[in-house]
Amino acid sequence: MIATSAFGSTGHLSSRVIFGAAALGAMSQERADATIELVRRAGVNHFDTAASYGDSEDRLKPWLAKHRSEVFLASKTGDRSGEAARASLERSLERLGVDQLDMIQLHNLVEEDDWRVAHGPGGAVEALAQAKAEGLVRFIGVTGHGTRISRMHSRSLVEYAFDSVLIPYNFTLMENRHYRADTEELLETCRQRRIAVQTIKSIARGRWPEGYQGRQFSWYQPLEDPAAIGRAISYVLSKDGLFLNTSSDATKLEIILAASENNTTPSEQALRDDTSALGITPLFDGNELERI
């Protein structure tokens, strides 16, 4: 079974691996049900979805009708104004068939204009805090992509006491000294304040080659070799306090779950060898690759 750990100061012991329910977004209900059962059997008790993840919230609804109490349930809104964020939250509650979310998250809050609107008067942060006061949500988090996000999260934590942050985290990305410095500063703040830290993009190999015509179940090209995936997963889970969100590519789910149950800390040399042998490249570079 996958180990559990305190999810920040929420009081919930979450599985170190969180089910990234974006994987359900384009599935049939039958396949979604089987996928949910797979993660449940592995001991995953924390599900992460979003209003923008296709049919994901709808696919979770039948299972939640019988098993709501078994999981920490999180969703996200990409809206920045308070009115729109509140409407998004209410739609998510309806689609999921629940009266309350454990956590609502501001989705990919990285751009300056978005950040100012969300944190400003009448913005999403204010509206979601009100929803929390009304009991529609228990906790509020903030997520993001790119090499600027750790720095932006640190700014967000000055403005509001978020319960969780979410950042991209893998060996290649952490080789970027600027991102590493920003991330280490953020992680220390989160440790001191007992803020949960979720990670994404653990098994990213790089961006899809230009003109690639094969199947794509995630916006980035994932690793394929099970041993390399295992090392990538173990790299994240070897860091105290980090939670790992599974990929939107459900074909990798069984490998990720198995690696998460049997992880051992990989050597830095092994990770460098993977980078070289498999052609792993950064998803983000602070410039032209920053936006997705």
Active site residues: 53
Question: In this structure, which amino acid lies at residue 74?
Answer: A
DSSP string, 77-104: E---BHHHHHHHHHHHHHHHT-S-EEEE
* Distance in angstroms (rounded) separating the CA atoms of residues 86 and 15: 29
| Calculated CA dihedral for residues 281, 173, 236, 72, nearest 10 degrees | -100
For residues 68 and 41, the answer to whether their CB atoms sit within 8 Å is no
DSSP string, 8-77: TTSS-EEESEEEEGGGGTT--HHHHHHHHHHHHHTT--EEE--TTSTTHHHHHHHHHHHHGGGSEEEEEE
